[in-house]
């Protein structure tokens, strides 16, 4: 009796301390809307079996990929001819969410290969992923998000490679558009997410992403970047970029645009809002942002090394000899 009273009391004060009823209700509604796509226990593929034409295209692609020596065992290579989609999920200590993430990934289309790259984990992430039906690659040391993606891309045998993260379960409805876009001919399908552009002062990472796209002559992409998930790439795209460059996403993006691939921001998933909780938990500046900034510098270095110090931009009637 006393306990109940106490509970009630804390509840009343808590209500005053936190948000009002209306705002709380709003967030609940938003979540519900976000998740409304599927019912528990039913399996509705967004992406039913693709047409024959697409499958044959896919086969060609695989042969090319096999020549490059990408997949490991011949038995798997045989299986890969039928695999359309590989979903690559790097995970480190994410046992709470990985199950849901894998289940959502498996809902995208039939016979999708879901690869979970468990790295540096000390909890039950690998088991949880296996239980949910994923192929698991385990590494004792931490690889980082991008390192995990690179390792996953090496092992993947699908026609379309979809990259997502283990910490947010994005519904299959919101993952399918990327796969669809790649099947329709896009080589790199990016998340149409530009980061918090309205913040003042703006976050350096957001600035760097915008800057890279405008250097590449693709200011229409705005802040869309391969640093953000989800994104999907085709086999052809993977060949042009090179698997190793996946470890430095801005570099891969630069290689894709300059290599003449079709890069498009396809679908918007508000990953910033979904990530927000994690950011609040931490104290001090995010060490990841410095890594991302260095990645952008690496991309610029590659651009200036391959296209000359001006990155292919003209001098516009400037007569430099005069100044010497």
Shortest CB 30 distance to another protein, Å = 23
Q: Which residue number, 33 or 317, has a Cβ lying nearer to another protein?
A: 317
Q: Which residue number, 76 or 219, has a Cβ lying nearer to another protein?
A: 219
Residues 6+ apart with CB under 8 A from 82: 111
Tokens of residue 283, six digits: 């104290």
Shortest CB 77 distance to another protein, Å = 30
Phi-psi region of 139 (alpha: psi -120 to 50; beta: other; left: phi over 0): beta
Shortest CB 197 distance to another protein, Å = 4
Residues 6+ apart with CB under 8 A from 33: none
For the chain, give me the number of helices (H) and strands (E)? 13, 7
Q: Which residue number, 56 or 294, has a Cβ lying nearer to another protein?
A: 294
Q: Which residue number, 176 or 215, has a Cβ lying nearer to another protein?
A: 215
Distance between CA 83 and CA 59 in Å, rounded? 9
Shortest CB 154 distance to another protein, Å = 16
Shortest CB 167 distance to another protein, Å = 9
Q: Which residue number, 58 or 221, has a Cβ lying nearer to another protein?
A: 221
Strands 188-191 and 135-139, sheet pairing: unpaired
Residues interacting with another protein, by CB under 8 A? 16, 92-94, 119-120, 122-123, 141-147, 197-202, 204, 206-208, 210-211, 214-215, 217, 219, 247, 282, 287-288, 290-291, 293-294, 297, 300-301, 303-304, 309-320, 322-324
Q: Around Cβ 155, how many Cβ atoms within 10 Å?
A: 17
């Amino acid at each position: 009796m006393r306990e109940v009273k106490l509970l009630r009391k804390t509840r009343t004060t808590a209500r005053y301390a936190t948000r009002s009823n209306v705002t709380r209700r709003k967030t609940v509604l938003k979540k519900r809307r976000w998740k409304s796509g599927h019912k528990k226990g039913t399996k509705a593929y967004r992406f039913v079996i693709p047409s024959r034409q697409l499958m044959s295209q896919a086969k060609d692609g695989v042969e090319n990929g096999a020549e490059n020596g990408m997949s490991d065992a011949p038995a798997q290579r045989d299986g890969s001819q039928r695999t359309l989609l590989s979903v690559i999920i790097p995970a480190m200590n994410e046992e709470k969410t990985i199950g849901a993430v894998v289940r959502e990934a498996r809902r995208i289309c039939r016979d999708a290969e879901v690869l979970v790259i468990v790295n540096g984990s000390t909890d039950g992430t690998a088991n949880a992923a296996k239980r949910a039906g994923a192929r698991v690659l385990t590494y004792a040391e931490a690889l980082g998000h991008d390192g995990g993606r690179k390792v996953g891309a090496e092992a993947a045998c699908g026609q379309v490679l979809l990259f997502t993260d283990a910490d947010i379960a994005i519904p299959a409805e919101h993952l399918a558009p990327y796969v669809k876009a790649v099947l329709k001919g896009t080589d790199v399908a990016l998340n149409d997410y530009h980061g918090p552009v309205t913040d003042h002062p703006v976050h350096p990472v957001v600035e760097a992403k915008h800057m890279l796209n405008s250097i590449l002559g693709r200011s229409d992409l705005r802040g869309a970047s391969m640093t953000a998930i989800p994104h999907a790439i085709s086999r052809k795209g993977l060949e042009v970029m090179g698997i190793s460059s996946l470890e430095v996403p801005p570099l891969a993006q630069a290689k894709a645009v300059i290599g003449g691939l079709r890069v498009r921001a396809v679908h918007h998933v508000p990953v910033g809002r979904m990530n927000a909780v994690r950011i609040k938990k931490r104290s001090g500046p995010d060490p990841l942002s410095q890594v991302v900034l260095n990645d952008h510098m690496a991309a610029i270095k590659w651009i200036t090394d391959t296209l000359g110090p001006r990155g292919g931009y003209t001098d516009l009637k400037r007569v430099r000899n005069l100044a010497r």
